[in-house]
Structure 1
Amino acid sequence: MPTRPRRTRRALATLLAAGLLALSACGGSDGRATQPAEPASQPAAGPAPEPASEPGAEPPAEPEGAGHGGHYAEPARSKPLRAGETRETIAMPGSYTPSAPYGTGTDDYRCFLLDPQLERDTWLTGTQVLPGNPEVVHHVILFQVPPGQVAAAEAKDAAEEDEGWTCFGGTGLDRFQDVDNSSWIGAWAPGGTETVTKPGFGTRLAKGSRIVMQVHYNLLAGQQPDTSAAQLRLAPGKRDYEALTTMLLPAPVELPCRPRHSDGALCERAAALADVKERFGAEGNTADLLHLLCGGEPQAGEVQSCVRTLGEPITIHGVAGHMHLLGRSIRIEVNPGTPQARTVLDIPVWDFDDQGSRPIDPVRLEPFEQVEVTCRHVQWLRDRLPSFEGQPDRYVVWGEGTTDEMCLGMLQVTHP
């Protein structure tokens, strides 16, 4: 795997910055508790058989309102504050009613500029997102805005009507955003709870910093007004904490149509890619660029991976993965293919409603060591999930929408 120049990795990040978990998230909830078991095979023609249930699994629950395509998760109860910590609640300045910004598609990404009133340097030690209208809010990502970017953020906010601004991908404030050191500081997604750092760790927020709240609205659930908020857990900046950052590990998605559907209008990769670009504008060309980060040319298949070679030492403290509704499994491995190989995240049956980050025992990696993310996506889930009802098969590439796909690993790291 050839090592790509750092400037190339950074140029990609603005296009890769949507969709995560309690580090971030994205996509649409279909109301299932766990994914159905995979069918043994698919017939060449005719309706797909009902996949058998996972051994010992209960049938998926159908929550109230699931027919609207919305996710109805309530904010989790806050965890007790530790000595010296305080909470600051920041909210959207006003109500916002989502709509398709380019006149087509079923998703709206909107960024809102929030002011936590930081009068001195501070450590952020946890976040709790409070989705105001969970019927239409499908994920929320929080980004820090350093003091030097506040004026640009205010100008962007003022340039569009209504609250906030359109922001597929990232916040739109950085032409290049470093995948090795993202500005993400927290998020809410299905299964997400309040995130709290380990004692002695935090994210540094400089005096005068602002927060951008990026909200993904799923228009399949309707176009209802929303006013979301977040709670920041803060600790005094004079404390000698280790600074945490987020490293992103995107990999391509190149999922072809099933043979019996291959004559569909969007089953050619070029047509599917053009459709993504029409719905998401400039941020829709991620699938064109991921092979530059990961090496090689796009190759159709259910399983895709990406190996990253480190340019500096890191210590991994937490891991998370993100896919959408066609995701089946995800794995993150360090030093793949060597005697030192170690799996730090393994989700053999992906559950969209359980996307929280996972703390791990610290793993120290040195320059030139590698990290690999591997995802598997399957088309047969289209036949099982309400979000795809009435939608034809398509060649699936990386996209921001509820029924598009992603393959994304996330590492919470410190740098010595």
Structure 2
Amino acid sequence: MHAAVGAAILFVACSSGSDDTASEPVPPATSEESVDTSVPDATSTTGVPASSDSIEADDPAVSPAISFASDVQPILEDNCASCHTADGPGTAHLAMETAGDVDGFDAEYIDAVIDVGYMPPWPAADGDVAFHDDRRLDPADIATVAAWVADGSPLDVDPTTPIEPTRTTRTVIDRDIVLQAEPYKGDTTDPDDYRCQIYDPGLTEQSWVQGYGIEADVAEVVHHALLFRASADARESAEASDAADPAVGWSCTGLAGIGGRGAVNQILSWAPGQDPTQLPADTGIEMQPGDFFVMQIHYHYEPVFADLAPDLSTLVVDMADQAAIDAAGGALDPIDLRIYLGPAEIPCSTEEVGPLCDRDASVTELQSRSGTLGAFAADGLNAACGTTPADYAHMTTGIASSTCTLPTQTGRIVSIWGHQHELGKSVKMTLNPGTPGERVLLDIPNWDFDWQLDYRPIEDIVLVPGDRVQIDCVWDRSRMDEDAEPRYVLWAEGTDDEMCYFQIVTRPA
């Protein structure tokens, strides 16, 4: 789970999307396809050839084949502007405040990232399950933008004409409670720093959480975050952990790092590209007086980040109003988050040489960084999945994979989420594999660390006793930093380690 620090040019186009009734979208490029992000020339982007004549936007006697005002601007306003105007997450990379912001050079890059499926961001492939808020553009809209760019991206409006969002498909929750961390800045001598802090909503009566989101502040170093709901009787343990660490909060490799009494339950895994979570209207997370949140943030520091400001990441919470509680009969349906883990065993390729290419040496090095978690990751997940290191020893081409089949919780699926780190190539989760009822729940054939979205099925999918899920992960060592020391990569939380990690959120069926 690593912050998006290098997406500069390619993170420039649309980042919201079409509704569920749109025409079938063009699937994004798969991991088997070669993705060319170069700017297409005027004759290669679409079946519509470029005009041989230069069209002047301010010449009323001549109109382009594709009108910006009537053809292109509505596409941008409907699919892109909610992220690329005002304080949207894409504005820092490319602002679409006015028509003049998107012509010429910028238009060519917009066309390029749309053409390869990088924008609007939607890594999931077409499959057995359709999801809400599919952001992919209709093929006709892709062709329209390509034809306009091939024609020289002429404007038939004043360049100062505002581009205004006509809808917002990003998840936006009510900001009933906004809690900011104490300023924290780690040290580059500890590149993978796991830091927990208490986020206290100050509850004095029973309440229900219906939405929650993490807003990363210094995004360059915020690799991932986990959010936990802690009961009031866990407060003493949390405060003891805080007091025992001289820095802000406390070091918490693994989970929340709270021992002793009290219940501590994970309710959110956050990573780059993820919108806030909005639960169904009649569901929620029950909170009693004195209950609080603990957030674990994994900071990844590199020397280039030494001069960045301290992080002030924020937790935003939407609390159910009384009308919603009354409509549900006085209590909302609870949600259940379950995590499904598979091994990550990624041997060095035959072209790589180094002492850490030996698995035992890599395990020892991992344990020196992460303590007992290293031993669990290296051996516990293999035991749980019925595999051994020998099952992966032949994977020396630079491509490695793992498969694990696990029992599910019961309930109606609210959302599905998959996760890897930066060597990730693909992830897939399949319900009841090898049976007549087999269904692929989630397939991301070309993993992109910067876009880790929650996927919410449109139809009701109910998990019942006896159901199982198969999780499949593939990694590509060519995605490793070229300056990194060759080593056998194992499952752990560090940025340079790997994961095969899925979660399913359900509600009672």
- Which bin holds the TM-score, normalised by the shorter protein? 0.7 to 0.9
Amino acid at match of 1:27: H
Residue 294 (structure 2) aligns with: 212
Amino acid at match of 2:454: S
Residue 382 (structure 2) aligns with: 291
Residue 21 (structure 1) aligns with: none
- For residue 215 of structure 2, the aligned residue among 126, 130, 145 is 130
Q: What is the CA–CA distance in structure 2 between the aligned matches of 1:303 and 1:99, rounded to whole Å? A: 33
Residue 411 (structure 1) aligns with: 504
Shift in CA distance, 140/169, structure 1 to aligned 2, threshold 3 Å: same
User: Superposed, which structure 2 residues align to 1:40-51 within 5 Å?
Assistant: none
Q: Does the CA contact (< 8 Å) of 1:28 and 1:324 recur in 2?
A: no
Q: Does the CA contact (< 8 Å) of 1:141 and 1:213 recur in 2?
A: yes
User: Superposed, which structure 2 residues align to 1:63-78 within 5 Å?
Assistant: none
SS at match of 1:260: coil
In the alignment, is residue 380 of structure 1 matched against residue 478 of structure 2?
A: yes
- For residue 351 of structure 2, the aligned residue among 260, 276, 300 is 260
Per-residue deviation, 1:160: 0.7
In the alignment, is residue 202 of structure 1 matched against residue 284 of structure 2?
A: yes
* Range 402-411 or range 188-197, more displaced: 188-197
Q: What is the CA–CA distance in structure 2 between the aligned matches of 1:356 and 1:36, rounded to whole Å? A: 17
Identity fraction in percent: 31
Q: Does the CA contact (< 8 Å) of 1:314 and 1:414 recur in 2?
A: yes
Q: What is the CA–CA distance in structure 1 between the aligned matches of 2:504 and 2:244, rounded to whole Å? A: 34
Q: What is the CA–CA distance in structure 2 between the aligned matches of 1:329 and 1:193, rounded to whole Å? A: 21
Q: Does the CA contact (< 8 Å) of 1:157 and 1:164 recur in 2?
A: yes
Q: What is the CA–CA distance in structure 2 between the aligned matches of 1:252 and 1:414, rounded to whole Å? A: 28
Per-residue deviation, 1:206: 2.2
Shift in CA distance, 281/80, structure 1 to aligned 2, threshold 3 Å: closer
Residue 98 (structure 1) aligns with: 186
Stretches of structure 1 that go unaligned for 5 or more consecutive residues are: 1-25, 40-51, 65-75, 383-387
- For residue 433 of structure 2, the aligned residue among 332, 336, 342 is 336
Q: Does the CA contact (< 8 Å) of 1:190 and 1:354 recur in 2?
A: yes
Per-residue deviation, 1:208: 1.1
Shift in CA distance, 397/29, structure 1 to aligned 2, threshold 3 Å: farther
Per-residue deviation, 1:105: 5.1
SS at match of 2:294: strand
Shift in CA distance, 245/278, structure 1 to aligned 2, threshold 3 Å: same
Q: Which has the higher helix share?
A: 2
Residue 8 (structure 1) aligns with: none
In the alignment, is residue 53 of structure 1 matched against residue 144 of structure 2?
A: no
Shift in CA distance, 367/340, structure 1 to aligned 2, threshold 3 Å: same
- For residue 304 of structure 1, the aligned residue among 402, 412, 424 is 402
Per-residue deviation, 1:36: 9.3
CA deviation string 1:195-251 (max 9, x = no partner): 211221222222211111111111115244222211111114744321112110110
Amino acid at match of 1:170: L
Q: What is the CA–CA distance in structure 2 between the aligned matches of 1:392 and 1:176, rounded to whole Å? A: 42
Q: Does the CA contact (< 8 Å) of 1:78 and 1:128 recur in 2?
A: no
Shift in CA distance, 177/343, structure 1 to aligned 2, threshold 3 Å: farther
Q: Does the CA contact (< 8 Å) of 2:179 and 2:314 recur in 1?
A: yes
Q: Does the CA contact (< 8 Å) of 1:308 and 1:371 recur in 2?
A: yes
CA deviation string 1:299-325 (max 9, x = no partner): 214110111124x63322210100011
Shift in CA distance, 377/267, structure 1 to aligned 2, threshold 3 Å: same
Residue 146 (structure 1) aligns with: 231
Per-residue deviation, 1:137: 1.8
Q: What is the CA–CA distance in structure 2 between the aligned matches of 1:175 and 1:304, rounded to whole Å? A: 35
TM-score, structure 2 length as denominator?
0.63
Shift in CA distance, 323/36, structure 1 to aligned 2, threshold 3 Å: same
Q: What is the CA–CA distance in structure 1 between the aligned matches of 2:414 and 2:502, rounded to whole Å? A: 14
Q: What is the CA–CA distance in structure 1 between the aligned matches of 2:38 and 2:211, rounded to whole Å? A: 34
Amino acid at match of 2:443: D
Stretches of structure 2 that go unaligned for 5 or more consecutive residues are: 12-27, 40-89, 94-168
Q: Which has the higher strand share?
A: 1
CA RMSD, aligned part only?
A: 2.9
- For residue 393 of structure 1, the aligned residue among 474, 481, 486 is 486
Q: What is the CA–CA distance in structure 1 between the aligned matches of 2:258 and 2:359, rounded to whole Å? A: 30
Q: Does the CA contact (< 8 Å) of 1:27 and 1:324 recur in 2?
A: yes
Shift in CA distance, 150/362, structure 1 to aligned 2, threshold 3 Å: farther
Q: Which has the higher contact order (CA 8 A, sep 6+)?
A: 1
Which has more radius of gyration? 2
- Alignment length (residue pairs): 347
